[in-house]
Amino acid sequence: MKKSSSEKRRHVVAWITKAEWDQVLDYLYSKDPALQRFALHRVSAWKARYAHSTPVAVDCTAELVRCQVLERSGQLGGDELVLLYGTALVRFVNLITERKQDGHHNQT
């Protein structure tokens, strides 16, 4: 049976509610490292639940925030931080490129 055009399409996401999404977003951009770590744990849980469909923006933002948290902790030297930030940025470019290519291959 065909769905009527008035029915909403369902989109499955890893977060449980919009409130959880909003909270994690706020915590990622917080200046409080404890809140940022909490948000990073939530993003890790989302990735465990729904790895291949995690939005690129969420994945890459979490990686960059992870770098910031580690930088503020003072546990890493300058060279290690450069490598972490560089890896996060390369990963961002790779994810964007990969998803664009997947979309292109599916259309042909």
Judge whether 36 lies within some domain.
yes
Task: Provide the token pair at 39.
Answer: 């948000």
Judge whether 4 lies within some domain.
no
Q: With a threshold of 0.75, does the pTM exceed it? A: no
Residue 77, φ and ψ in degrees, nearest 5: -85, 175
Judge whether 85 lies within some domain.
yes
Judge whether 28 lies within some domain.
yes
Cα angle for residues 53, 57, 19 (degrees, 5° grid) = 80
pLDDT for residue 39: 95
pLDDT for residue 3: 56
| Domain count of the fold of the chain | 1
Judge whether 1 lies within some domain.
no
Judge whether 13 lies within some domain.
no
For residue 14, give the DSSP letter: S
C-beta separation of 36 from 65 below 8 A:
yes
Judge whether 38 lies within some domain.
yes
C-beta separation of 58 from 43 below 8 A:
yes
Tens place of pLDDT per residue across the chain (108 aa) = 555 555 567 766 768 788 988 999 999 999 999 999 999 999 998 888 877 777 878 888 898 999 889 888 888 888 888 999 999 899 888 877 876 776 655 554
Judge whether 11 lies within some domain.
no
Parent domain of 33:
18-107
- Cα–Cα distance between 87 and 91 in angstroms, integer? 6
